[in-house]
Amino acid sequence: MQLRPIFFLILSVSFLKPAVHAQQAPISVQDAPLRVVVAGISHGHAGWILGRMEKKDVIITGIWEPDTALAASAARQYKIPASMFHRNLPALLDEVKPEAVLAFGSVFSHLEVTEVAAPRGVHVMVEKPLAASLTHARKMETLARKHGILLLTNYETSWYPSVHKSLQLSLDSNQTGTLRMARFNHGHQGPKEIGCSKEFLAWLTDPVLNGGGALVDFGCYGANIMTALMKDKAPVSVTAVTRQFKPKVYPKVDDDATIIVDYGNAQAVIQASWNWTFNRKDMELYGDKGAISAPEAATLVLRNTNGRQEQRTISPQEAKVITDPFVYLAAVVRGREKVAPWSLYSLENNVMVVRILEAAKLSAKSGKSVKP
């Protein structure tokens, strides 16, 4: 009889154990969704983030867009509550306290976004290129360093398995040997011709708000990848020629640019244009032992000194590349990924990109080679 209370005590404790074990473990900080604010939506690429609202890895806590008509249109298109749109960026950041800001406005606005976000300790990812001018780029770099934030630049080609595999094969020198020549062909038929929105065209074809025309819009891709290939090496000179093949369509800016970036022992030829027959983002690398061509996002063509070629399809797993820039941003903020110096998203790389573009604009204007 004296054992019954003890028996019931043991029995009751045993029934409690499953209930304790059934409690859901708290989500670790490393696995928590990334809370972001979208700063501007006039960029044609804004749909990349607005169109993934149903995903829970990155959560939009607010959207800053001064253009109320554009905000209303986006709210209807993406079924976003109107209450999420704001016209005051500092107030929005103070209210929702995001971890990062995604800039999808004009290139000129990237500085304003960084000036607001950096002192608040909020990380920033901008659409390519980093800045509309070298003055802006330097100010943004200073702000990022001072306040210890990430300042990343997103390029579509940074998601391409073929680009990452090309970098790996070239940098380990087993495939190309010493790199001598690189060619980058980027662009399309023209932003108006392919149907960009009027809000996007308004600043994309403005020499101040975009920093230039096709030279900036598509010249940045080749400068970005070549900077990664050359690591911390600055060019010896930059020489550029620009044209206005369609002055009635794009009266304020160039619509075609050829940029030669000389490193002394290697050279890059960047062809950036709004006059291509078709949309293209491809590149070729030539060394003293072999060549690499990346004609498409997942296609790689390897050639040896005899010109024999091997075509391969490259998967994201093989290239070890994250194909969603917002997943990448979350991984970096959470410490699962590290931004290597001079890598495609890095601040070091993209300040150099703006240096190259600035030198190209000066060269095209003066008719002379310019040292970045």
| pTM given for the model | 0.91
Residue that wins the pLDDT comparison between 29 and 166? 166
Q: Are strands 34-39 and 58-64 parallel, antiparallel or unpaired?
A: parallel
- pLDDT tens per residue, range 76-110: 999 999 999 999 999 999 999 999 999 999 999 99
Task: Tell me the two tokens of residue 37.
Answer: 């604010």
- pLDDT tens per residue, range 120-134: 999 999 999 999 999
CA 296 to CA 351: how far, in whole Å?
26
Angle at 174 between CA 170 and CA 175, to 5 degrees: 60
- pLDDT tens per residue, range 336-346: 999 999 999 99
Q: Are strands 280-287 and 309-313 parallel, antiparallel or unpaired?
A: unpaired
- pLDDT tens per residue, range 310-366: 999 999 999 999 999 999 999 999 999 999 999 999 999 999 999 999 999 999 999
Task: Tell me the two tokens of residue 266.
Answer: 């290697």
Sign of CA dihedral 186, 189, 191, 196: negative
pLDDT at 212: 98
Q: How confident is the prediction for the chain on average, in pLDDT? A: 92
Contact present, 136 and 110 (Cβ < 8 Å): yes
Contact present, 93 and 113 (Cβ < 8 Å): no
Could you tell me which of 103, 117, 63, 29 has the C-alpha nearest to residue 330? 29
3-class secondary-structure state, position 81: coil
Would you report the helix, strand and coil content of the chain in percent, each value rounded to 5?
Answer: 40, 25, 35
Contact present, 162 and 298 (Cβ < 8 Å): yes
- pLDDT tens per residue, range 20-34: 333 444 445 667 999
pLDDT at 29: 64
The interaxial angle of helices 347-366 and 134-147, nearest 10 deg, is: 170
Q: How many residues does the chain have?
A: 372
